[in-house]
Structure 1
Amino acid sequence: SRNVVFTIVSQSEPYHASVAKRLKQDIENQVLQLENRYPKTHITHEDFPVAGAWTILPLLAPLTSRYKRSEVRWVLFVETHTAVRCDKLIEALAAADKQEDVMWIGYPLSDEEPTIIHHFTFYEELEEEGGFTYPNFASGFAMRIELIEILLKQIESGHRRLEADFSIDPAYELAQLVYGGGSDPGPLLTPDLSFCIVSGDNCATYPRQFGVCGSAIPEDSIFFAVKTWSGFHQTRARVVKKTWGRHVSHLQFFSDKDDPTLPAISTGIPNSKTGHCAKTMAILRMVLKRIEHMPHIKWIFLADDDTILGVQRLCEVLSCYRGGDDVTVLGERYGYGYGKKETAAK
């Protein structure tokens, strides 16, 4: 493990911070038993408190600054819910070390067809090589520090930058950045099935299930606000009401027009391609005013009219966030500008 840096991509929110701390302790205890020494282990929100650490790119500069010209050859990135078996991991990295052309390893994901979340990008020229692959972040992945240094120089020089300014799927976008394409492509991810998606005897890593922290929170402590449009009142909105909407106590649709049959109320924001943020803020303001005299409401759940939801599972997940920060925001993360040299290479 002398050649490995364990990097736990974490968040400062109390629940996630506690899970990250337990994972760090587990890794340290394993290596202590194996080698009678402590490994190099980092919790990112404590050791590298940079914006956008979840995209990995802002972590590259501080990691190389700390470990270049050291004995470190690999950086392992894991999420807080990633299980790590250090003996198997050290074996996997030792095997990869013997192959000079292997620059980064992990569990490979790939697209069977162009998808909207990846901006419909598809690498047909790689089909004979097995297609364009990117790592499953929940299983962890490892990069040679040599590759990280090369990537930082390319970003600094302007030879590499994200295809889009927005970060939506950081695993895919990182793989895009490394590969680059064109006349000087970088290395593709090398599939390594010791990085697993479910636990197995030969797994070095695998994602743990998101557990429950005690009993689920009461469903009626959540106000469900659904963003819709008058053109979908008779279709999408009706489906919501017939499916998961049947299982909630406080459901309100917010639209560009009033419709008492749903019920839907107008936000006063016209429907347009660029009005999503304004509509979201208007909905939050309206909901906050609505629940002023509903002290039992502890959460606001904002959904689109095509959101698929398991209400019971949501209540179980939210059980882990009792008594944390006064304002806790949960959801899918989107970022902006993390692939620029001002962010990634500084």
Structure 2
Amino acid sequence: MSSSISLARFLATAQQQQHLDHDLAALISAVARTCVSISDAVSQGALAGVLGEAGTGNVQGEDQKKLDVIANQMLLDGLAWTGLVSGMASEEMEHASPIPAEYPQGPYLLLFDPLDGSSNIDVNISVGTIFSILKRGEGELESQFLQAGSQQVAAGYVLYGPQTMLVLSTGQGVQGFTLDRHCGEFMLTQANMTIPTATKEFAINMSNQRHWEAPVQRYIAELLAGKTGVRGKDFNMRWVASMVAEVHRILTRGGIFMYPRDARDPSKPGKLRLMYEANPMSFLVEQAGGAATNGRERIVSLQPEGLHQRVSVILGSKEEVERVTQYHFE
């Protein structure tokens, strides 16, 4: 792909073609700029004293890493003054954050997981930022965020790996940009990313196998049986424990990622958060020709009931997602 196309140029072209408005383009640019700063903090690691535990917990009762807190504050500080958002919500905060009165209100809402896969930080494995953009609604702020994933006007993630990459969709396919640190710009390097329909690769946390429901047990048993089983082919398993890294691999070469419901806590329909993880990633996957369900329904069709709602996630190459979803109905 032409490395001469910057994110700024790409967004300007999309505005000219009336695919997005000026404020949405500016918001995406502002998120990207902030993520460059997060990338710098992540890359410094122990040199900047940002590794290790923060000594605090988030609303889900999970221990926070120092970089969880730092990245969350960077996004709040980097977007609050822009006049592009009227509120922000984060996996790390119990309630939605309104824009301070001294700043102008904007037409959009921003949701984010500031540092997905943060358990990998201290061992120098890829982590990332996931974001979702919705149009501002009416009424009390927190209720405005409770829109189905199909209402997203843009979604994406920034992967902090060997390269820092922004993967973005505004509803017109999925584009991949790589950060050129010489000029500080994201440059288009993977245009129109497409997920292969079929795959031989799956990602799931096998340590939870004994807790899975019967349809998932059946599906994984078939994959593990390989050529000698009903599928008649061998599969490879991957597990990074970073959703950004898992989805990026699927967008690059195909595969299926699963974090299914299990029996450990019957009150929780899944591990991952609908608003901060499942919705934006499902939006990207569908835009790239893949599929994403909770085992029975399209994830982006679900009506959220709360900011921190959890959901079962099965996404990736369409043939495999459709197969395991069908097993849930059978």
- Normalization by structure 1: what TM-score? 0.25
Q: Which one has a bigger Cα radius of gyration?
A: 1
Q: 1 or 2, which has the higher strand percentage?
A: 2
